[in-house]
């Protein structure tokens, strides 16, 4: 007997796939120096020094910085393409709306992070966020992001043999100039940064905004 043949009525299903994407910015090398300078400037005046890294205060979409705005505009287009590619339909059709402008993807919160040698960010997710977007601005080496198995019951029992990648940690290694998109609920971590130089990244928490014609509100709204 085989489970991969349709002829005997048996079917093998691989369920609950999780989409994630890494996309190079076509103009990344053009803007990364300007972004680095903008973030470093902000870090001198509006900085949140956490024990494990430094973050800018407020939203970088309010900086009125041309490089930040150009990057944000491009990122929003990529995020839309990301969802539409996975769903295989235009975003507005997902909620039965008539026109593309009835659904928008907007940044709710945005900030820059600086990691110095020894810094890290332990496992967390981004609450009330449809898509978490992370862009890498500068780093001497690759920028690593660990993604954790999101299936909530996966740690409850270890049978000795795994057959569904239970508990697997997937490490995404990116270069400056690359954007990573993951669902906001996905638990992730930044492993300890080992370089003497700094690692600069920008993050946006994205949410859907629905037109008045759309009678749907996201959970928690
Ligand atoms: Fe995060």
81 alpha carbon – ligand 1 mean position (Å): 21
Tracing tokens 């239970």 back to the chain, one arrives at: 166
pLDDT at 142 over 90: yes
- In the chain, where does DSSP find H-type helix? 28-45, 66-87
Distance 110 CA to ligand 1 centre (A): 11
pLDDT at position 5, please?
A: 62
Confidence at residue 220, expressed as pLDDT on a 0 to 100 scale: 58
Residue boundaries of the structural domains of the chain: 28-150+165-210
Taking only the tens place, the pLDDT of each residue in 25-82 is: 999 999 999 999 999 998 888 888 888 888 888 999 999 999 999 999 999 999 999 9
pLDDT band, very low/low/confident/very high, at 130 (cuts 50, 70, 90) = very high
Q: pLDDT tens across 169-205, in order?
A: 999 999 999 999 999 999 999 999 987 889 999 999 9
Give residue 6's pLDDT.
Answer: 64
Tell whether domain 28-150+165-210 is in CATH 3.40.50.880: no
Distance 163 CA to ligand 1 centre (A): 28
Q: How far is CA 85 from CA 46, 67, 82, 89, 92, in A?
A: 37, 27, 5, 7, 13
List, in sequence order, every residue forming a beta bridge with 110; answer none if it has no partner: 204
Q: What's the number of CA atoms in the CB half-sphere (13 Å) around residue 83?
A: 23
Mean pLDDT of the chain: 92
User: How far apart are the CA of 98 and the centre of ligand 1, in A?
Assistant: 34
Q: Residues 82, 64, 36, 145: is their CA dihedral positive or negative?
A: negative
């Amino acid at each position: 007997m085989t489970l991969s043949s349709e002829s005997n009525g048996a079917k093998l299903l691989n369920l609950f796939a999780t989409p994630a994407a890494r996309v190079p910015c076509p103009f990344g090398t053009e803007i990364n120096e300007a972004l680095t300078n903008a973030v470093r400037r902000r870090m001198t005046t509006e900085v949140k020094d956490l024990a494990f890294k430094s973050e800018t205060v407020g939203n970088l979409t309010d900086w009125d910085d041309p490089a930040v705005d150009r990057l944000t505009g491009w990122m929003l287009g990529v995020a839309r393409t990301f969802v539409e590619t996975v769903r295989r339909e235009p975003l507005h059709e997902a909620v039965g709306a008539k026109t593309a402008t009835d659904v928008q993807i907007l940044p709710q919160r945005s900030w820059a992070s600086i990691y110095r040698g020894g810094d890290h960010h332990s496992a967390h997710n981004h609450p009330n966020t449809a898509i978490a977007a992370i862009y890498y601005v500068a780093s001497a080496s690759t920028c690593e992001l660990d993604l954790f198995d999101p299936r909530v019951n996966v740690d409850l029992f270890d049978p000795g043999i795994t057959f569904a990648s239970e508990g697997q940690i997937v490490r995404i290694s990116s270069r400056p100039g690359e954007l990573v998109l993951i669902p906001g609920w996905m638990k992730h971590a930044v492993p300890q940064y080992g370089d003497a130089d700094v690692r600069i990244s920008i993050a946006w928490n994205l949410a859907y905004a629905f037109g008045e014609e759309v009678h749907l509100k996201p959970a928690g709204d």
